[in-house]
Copies of this chain bind each other. A is one copy, B any other.
Amino acid sequence: MSSSNTAPSVKPPMRDALVAAAFRLFLERGYEQTTVDDIVTLAGVGRRSFFRYFPSKEDVVFPDHEGCLADMTGFLAASAPECEPVRRVCDAARLVLRMYAENPTFSVQRYRLTRRVPGLRAYELSVVWRYERALAEYLRGRYAGRPDGTLRADVVAAAVVAAHNNALRSWLRSDGEGDAAATVDHALGYVQTAFGAEAAPGAAGGTPAALFGGPTGHPDDVVVLVSRRDAPLWRVVQEIEAAFGRG
């Protein structure tokens, strides 16, 4: 794993030069029309130098994802047991946003390139899949032993990635204008609202609520719920759904 998403000053200069040469050519000639030979000629290095840093031409388009995946895996592995898991994977997703936001011009250029080249789109899908799996694996560990633990982990990971990418694409389409972090925070907040408080460790167990009003009845009926404030929210919602006949 490279250390490519640390500060630019510590990146290997030759690696940076190859990325810069590649993008200059991709933008001038098109991605398909640019060969690795063209890139190394412009960068003034040999072919072997290229392949020391990048397994293929596609990889030079996404030079920082391996480093970001390594950072994300490390971040999740270092989680304290008392972390709320959904909040933690949202924070992990913010590492990806940070990588994009560090260099808006490059990120916007790449976004446009990726939309035009089907092969790059496929490559990007595989990268997104790897981020999603990293989040899901962490959540599977945290939800181990819970009913539907892997289901919950997979769904939450997918929802976090979809929310992050919705916000990221919106920022990229705006040519990197606006506050990327605020846009992503808002999107991740939506996912946390849907799933976030379910798994708070140490939340009180047991049935949270006394419910007056059964699962069937007239729409105009009144439902009364009485609950301790520290009851797990997901249980409260389950009870309410049952009472509203929508579970």
Contacts and interface: CB of A to CB of B under 8 A. Distances in A.
A80 interface: no
Interface size class of A (residues with CB under 8 A): 35 or more
A132 to B, nearest CB: 8
B241 A193 contact: yes
Nearest to A123: B122
A90 to B, nearest CB: 12
A151 B169 CA distance: 11
B229 A223 contact: yes
A237 interface: yes
A161 B236 CA distance: 26
A166 interface: yes
A159 interface: yes
Contacts of A196: 246
B213 A219 contact: no
A237 B193 CA distance: 9
A42 interface: no
A154 interface: yes
A244 interface: yes
A220 B228 contact: yes
A233 interface: yes
Contacts of A157: 162
B247 A229 contact: no
A238 interface: yes
A158 interface: yes
A184 to B, nearest CB: 11
Given A193-B238, A213-B229, A247-B193, A158 B154 contact: no
B240 A240 contact: yes
Contacts of A195: 194
Contact of A222 (B162, B227, B237): B227
A208 to B, nearest CB: 9
Contact of A162 (B155, B226, B228, B243): B155
Contacts of A247: 193
B148 A155 contact: no
A129 interface: yes
Contacts of A219: 228-230
13 contacts: A122-B122, A155-B159, A155-B162, A158-B161, A193-B247, A221-B229, A223-B225, A225-B226, A229-B244, A229-B245, A233-B244, A236-B244, A240-B240
